[in-house]
């Protein structure tokens, strides 16, 4: 299993490499949550059960900040998907 710190680095590198504008990243690694035996709800591993970390970041909207949650496989470090307030975004390899 990867550490919370490693998960944070993987996720933040993904976000920075995508050059997403108006992003507020998480400062506290303790706010990364581990969900054990979580059934994957969306994306390429939909229906599988594994341990995942969730990482919340904020994107600036026109009037408000909107939270988005990245799901990462806690065993392998594979990015799974981003849960938005509308739906989800599949993270491609």
50-81 pLDDT tens trace: 999 999 988 887 788 888 899 999 999 999 99
Residues 6+ apart with CB under 8 A from 82: 68, 69, 70, 71, 88, 89, 91
pLDDT band at 93 (very low <50, low <70, confident <90, very high): low
Average pLDDT across the chain, whole number: 89
Phi-psi region of 38 (alpha: psi -120 to 50; beta: other; left: phi over 0): beta
pLDDT digits over 14-27, tens only?
888 887 777 788 78
pLDDT of 2: 96
> How far apart, in whole angstroms, are the C-alpha atoms of residue 88 and residue 43?
8
Count how many residues are written for the chain. 93
pLDDT of 25: 84
DSSP string, 4-17: HHHHHHHHHHHHHH
């Amino acid at each position: 299993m990867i550490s919370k710190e490693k998960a944070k680095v993987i996720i933040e590198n993904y976000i920075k490499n995508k050059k997403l504008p108006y992003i507020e990243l998480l400062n506290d690694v303790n706010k990364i949550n581990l969900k054990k035996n979580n059934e994957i709800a969306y994306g390429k591993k939909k229906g599988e059960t594994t341990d995942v970390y969730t990482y919340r970041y904020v994107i600036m909207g026109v009037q408000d900040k909107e939270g988005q949650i990245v799901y990462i496989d806690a065993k392998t470090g594979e990015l799974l998907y981003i849960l938005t307030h509308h739906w989800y975004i599949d993270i491609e390899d």
